[in-house]
Amino acid sequence: MPLDLAFVRKQFPALADDFVYFDNAGGSAVLKTVAERVYEYLTTTSVQTGASYAHSRRASERLAQARARFALLVGASRAEEIVIGSSTTALCQNLARALRWRLKPGDEIIVTAFDHESNIGPWRGLEALGFVVKVWGLDPQTCEIDLDALDRLMTSRTRLVAVTHASNILGTINPIAEIARRVHAHGAEIVVDAVAYAPHRAIDVIALDVDYYMFSFYKTYGPHLAMMYGQYDKLIELDGLYHYFYGRAMVPQKLEPGNPNYELAWGAAGVVDYLDRLGGGSGDRAAIERAFDDIGAQEAALSERLLSYLRDRNDVRILGRRDSLAASRVPTISFKVEGRDSAEIVRAVDEAGIGMRFGDFHSKRLVEALGEAGSSGVLRVSMVHYNTVEEVDRLIVRLDQIL
Ligand SMILES: Cc1ncc(COP(=O)(O)O)c(C=O)c1O
Mind listing the pLDDT tens digit for each residue in 306-320? 999 999 999 999 999
Q: Where are the alpha helices (DSSP H) in 154-253?
A: 176-185, 205-208, 232-237
| Domain extent at residue 327 | 5-30+285-402
pLDDT of residue 112: 98
Q: Is residue 257 part of a domain?
A: yes
Q: 214, 247, 275: which is the final residue of a domain?
A: 275
The answer to whether the CB of 220 is under 6 A from ligand 1 is no
Which amino acid makes up residue 234?
A: K
Q: What is the mean pLDDT of residues 336-347?
A: 98
How remote is the CA of residue 366 from the centroid of ligand 1, in Å?
A: 14
Residue 169 sits in a domain whose CATH number is: 3.40.640.10
How remote is the CA of residue 141 from the centroid of ligand 1, in Å?
A: 25
Q: Is residue 280 part of a domain?
A: no
Residues 159 and 302 in one domain: no
pLDDT tens across 159-175, in order? 999 999 999 999 999 99
- Pairing of the two strands 212-216 and 226-230: antiparallel
Q: How far apart are CA 403 and CA 397, in angstroms?
A: 10
Q: Is residue 38 part of a domain?
A: yes
pLDDT tens across 90-116, in order? 999 999 999 999 999 999 999 999 999
Handedness of CA 35, 40, 43, 45 (dihedral sign): negative
| Closest approach atom of ligand 1 to CA 362 | 14
Residues 297 and 318 in one domain: yes
Q: Is residue 293 part of a domain?
A: yes
* Size of the chain, expressed as the number of residues it contains: 403
Q: Is residue 311 part of a domain?
A: yes
Q: 222, 244, 275: which is the final residue of a domain?
A: 275
Q: How many Cβ atoms sit within 10 Å of the Cβ of residue 66?
A: 28
pLDDT tens across 182-216, in order? 999 999 999 999 999 999 999 999 999 999 999 99
Residues 193 and 44 in one domain: yes
How remote is the CA of residue 310 from the centroid of ligand 1, in Å?
A: 26
Q: What is the mean pLDDT of residues 18-45?
A: 98
Q: How far apart are CA 142 and CA 318, in angstroms?
A: 10
pLDDT tens across 385-401, in order? 999 999 999 999 999 99
The answer to whether the CB of 93 is under 6 A from ligand 1 is no
Q: How far apart are CA 247 and CA 249, in angstroms?
A: 6
pLDDT of residue 1: 77
| Closest approach atom of ligand 1 to CA 196 | 1
* Nearest residue to 317 via CA among 293, 330, 334: 334
Residues 163 and 98 in one domain: yes
Q: 249, 275, 301: which is the final residue of a domain?
A: 275
Q: Is residue 314 part of a domain?
A: yes
Q: Is residue 242 part of a domain?
A: yes
Q: Do residues 193 and 214 make contact, with C-beta atoms less than 8 angstroms apart? A: yes
Q: How far apart are CA 120 and CA 358, in angstroms?
A: 21
Q: Do residues 303 and 63 make contact, with C-beta atoms less than 8 angstroms apart? A: no
Count of structural domains within the chain: 2
How remote is the CA of residue 397 from the centroid of ligand 1, in Å?
A: 30
Planar angle of CA 197, 265, 207, nearest 5 degrees: 40
Residues 337 and 244 in one domain: no
Q: How many Cβ atoms sit within 10 Å of the Cβ of residue 249?
A: 11
The answer to whether the CB of 87 is under 6 A from ligand 1 is yes
Q: pTM of the entire structure?
A: 0.98
Residues 227 and 197 in one domain: yes
pLDDT of residue 359: 98
Residues 58 and 118 in one domain: yes
Q: Is residue 103 part of a domain?
A: yes
Residue 282 has pLDDT above 80, yes or no: yes
Work out the angle between the directed axes of helices 262-278 and 32-44 (0-180°, nearest 10): 140
Residue 22 sits in a domain whose CATH number is: 3.90.1150.10
How remote is the CA of residue 282 from the centroid of ligand 1, in Å?
A: 31
pLDDT of residue 176: 98
